[in-house]
Amino acid sequence: MKSIRTFGLGLLLAAFAVFISILFVGQYKLSSKALDAFCVQKNITSPIFINTLESSVIEREFNTPFYLANTIAKSVKSANIAHKKNKEWSKVIWEKPHSLAYQLVKSSGIGVVVQNKVSLWFLSFGLAILGALLFMLPAIELKGPAGIKNNHIFHKSATNRGWIAWLVFMFLVGFYIVLYFRPSYMINWIYLVDPISESISGHSASQWFLYGFLYCVVMAVMAVRMYIKYRNNKYQVLRTTSVLFFQIVFAFLIPEILVRFEKPWYDFKNIFPLDYDFFFRWNLDELLDSGGFGLFVLVWGVLLTVVIVPVMVYFFGKRWYCSWVCGCGGLAETLGDPYRQLSSKSLFSWKVERWLVHGVLVFALVMTGLTLYGYFSGSYKVYGIKVQTIQDVYGFLIGSIFAGVIGTGLYPIFGNRVWCRFGCPLAAYMGVIQRFKSKFRITTNGGQCISCGNCSTYCEQGIDVRAYAQKGENIVRSSCVGCGICSAVCPRGVLKLENGPEQGRIGSVDVLLGNDMNLIDQLDEK
C-alpha cells in the first residue's frame, strides 16, 4: 500500500514536470495570411502595427511563444502611442495588448505540441490524475478505519506553512497571474485541451476553457480525497457530490454547450454580485440580442439575486450556496480542504474580514449602480468618471487579484476560504441575511463542550466556534458557510447544523445546561 502511494506521488510529480516543460517547447510561426485575416476580423487598420510585425516576426519561426507574444504586445503599445499622438483615433487598437497577442499566438503554433495534443494530454493531465489517485486511494487502508483522521496535519510542511506550502503558493500565484495577464505564455496547455473543447462547444479552447477544465479536473480528483477522508460522514459526502455536480454541469458543460448552439456563455448558478459583470453594458446588450433565451437569462439572473437567494438563505442559511453549489466554494472544499486549519481565528482578523467583505459589497453595488445609470442614460461617464474605468478597476483588483491570485494562491498560507471570507460580495450579502433573518444555526449540545478547540482549529472561515460552544450558545455568524466540519471533528458530539425556528435561535443563557442554578434569578438580573 505504501509503495503504491509512493509510486503515485512519483507519477504525479513526473506528470507535473512534463506539464511545466510543455510550456517551453514547440514551434510558432505567425503567417502573414493569419495576420491579415485577424486584422480584417478585428477591424485593425494601424499600418504601424502591421508593419512592425511584418518586419519583426511574420513568417519567422520561434521555439517558445514568449518572444512572439511580447513583440506583438509591444507593437500594439507603440502603435497606439504614435496614433494617439497624431490623433488618428480610428487607427488606435482598443483591445488589450496581451489579450490581442494571445489570439495571434494561438493561431501560430505549428510544432510538436499542436501535432501531439492527445498524447501530450495523457502524459501531463492523464498521468497526473492517475498519479494523484494512486497517491490518495491507499489512505483507505493506511489511515485506519473510517473516522476523523487529522493526525500530523501540523507536523507536515505542506499543511503547516512549510516549504512545500510556499512552493504551492508560488505556483498558484504564478498560474493566476499568467492566466489573467499573460495567457499566451500558457498557450501550449491551451492547445492540449483543444480537442476536448472542440468536442463540447465546437470551438477551439481559450484560456478560460483551460481554466474551467483544470478546475473540474482538480475538483474531481480532490473530491475523491474528500470521499475517502469523510467516508464516515454523509453530510460531507453529499455536499462534495453537490459542489462537484454544479461545477461540472452548470459552470463547465452547460455554458460550453450553449456556445455550441450559438447562445451566450452563461453559468446559471453564478449570482450577482459575485457575477459582477452581469449588468455590464456588453452583457446586457448580448443578452438582449439573444432573443427569448437572453431575456430568460436576464430574468433568471435578477430573480436569483432578488428572490431565490434571500428565500434560500432564510430557510437553509448561506450554506445552500457557499458549500453546496458555488464554484469558488467547490474548489475551497476540495482542493482547499487540506488547508482549512490555516485560517486565522483572531479577533483582529474578524475585524479585517468585516471591513473588507462589506467594503467589496459596497464597491460592487456602487459600480453596478453607476453602470446601470450609464446604461439607461446612454452616457459612458457618470459624474465625470468613465464607467469603464471603475469596471476595469473592480475587474482587476477584485475579480482577478482578490478572487484569483490572492483567493486561491493563499490557500496554503491563510487557508482555503480567503476570498469567500474576506472578499466575496455575494457572501457578504447572504451573510447579512443569515445573521439577522434565517432559520439556520449550528446548535450547541447543552453542556457537553470540553473546549478542546478542534472546531475552531478546523473552521475554514476563521470562526472561533469554541467561544460559542463552551458558553452553550448556538453559532449564527454571518460568515459561516455551513461546511459542517466543526460538527464532524468534534470529539464529543457537541455541534449540529440545523434549520429551526427563529425563536431561541441563539439560545444564550448565562448558565449552561447541567447546572440547576435558578435560571429565573439569573434572568431577573439582566
Contact status: 484 vs another protein (CB under 8 A): yes
Closest CB to another protein among residues 2, 85: 2
Binding to another protein, residues 219-238 (CB under 8 A): 232-235, 238
Contact status: 141 vs another protein (CB under 8 A): no
Number of other CB atoms surrounding residue 386 within 10 Å: 14
Mapped onto helix, strand or coil, the DSSP state of residue 461 is coil
Q: CA of 148: how far to CAs of 231, 334, 411, 487, 490, in Å?
A: 9, 16, 21, 11, 9
> Closest approach of Cβ 161 to another protein, in Å?
11
DSSP one-letter code for 109 = B
Q: CA of 274: how far to CAs of 3, 74, 328, 502, in Å?
A: 44, 33, 10, 28
Q: CA of 108: how far to CAs of 105, 114, 188, in Å?
A: 5, 10, 11
Among 87, 292, 501, 526, binds another protein (CB under 8 A): 501
Rg (CA), the chain: 26
**Dihedrals phi, psi of 499, to nearest 5 degrees:** -110, 120
**Cell numbers that stand for 230 in this block:** 469523510
Contact status: 488 vs another protein (CB under 8 A): yes
Burial class (CB in 10 A: 0-12, 13-18, 19+), 70: middle
Alpha-carbon distance of 118 to 473, in angstroms, equals 56
Q: Which helix (H) or strand (E) holds 442?
A: strand 440-444
Stretch that binds another protein, among 35-43, 270-278, 352-360, 462-470 (CB under 8 A): 462-470
Closest CB to another protein among residues 6, 515: 515
Closest CB to another protein among residues 358, 505: 505
Closest CB to another protein among residues 141, 392: 141
CA dihedral 363, 365, 370, 374 (to 10 degrees): 140
Among 492, 506, 509, 523, binds another protein (CB under 8 A): 492
Contact status: 1 vs another protein (CB under 8 A): no
- Nearest alpha carbon to residue 176 among 444, 442, 484, 396: 396
Contact status: 162 vs another protein (CB under 8 A): no
Q: How many CA atoms lie within 13 A of 44 on its CB side?
A: 24
Among 2, 85, 87, 152, binds another protein (CB under 8 A): 152
Contact status: 111 vs another protein (CB under 8 A): no
Q: CA of 445: how far to CAs of 191, 438, 472, 486, 491, in Å?
A: 54, 20, 7, 13, 12
Contact status: 524 vs another protein (CB under 8 A): no
Among 457, 461, 474, 478, binds another protein (CB under 8 A): 457
Number of other CB atoms surrounding residue 446 within 10 Å: 11
- Nearest alpha carbon to residue 223 among 132, 160, 106, 357: 132
> Closest approach of Cβ 262 to another protein, in Å?
41
Closest CB to another protein among residues 194, 464: 464
Contact status: 433 vs another protein (CB under 8 A): no
Size of the site for another protein (CB under 8 A): 56
Contact status: 6 vs another protein (CB under 8 A): no
Contact status: 447 vs another protein (CB under 8 A): yes
Contact status: 496 vs another protein (CB under 8 A): yes
Among 10, 291, 369, 491, binds another protein (CB under 8 A): 491
> Closest approach of Cβ 215 to another protein, in Å?
26
> Closest approach of Cβ 219 to another protein, in Å?
21
Binding mask 182-221 for another protein (x = CB under 8 A): ----------------------------------------
Closest CB to another protein among residues 153, 217: 153
Given the rule CB under 8 A, which residues bind another protein? 144-148, 150-156, 232-235, 238, 346-347, 439, 443, 445-448, 450-454, 456-457, 466-467, 470, 484, 487-488, 491-493, 496-501, 510-517, 521
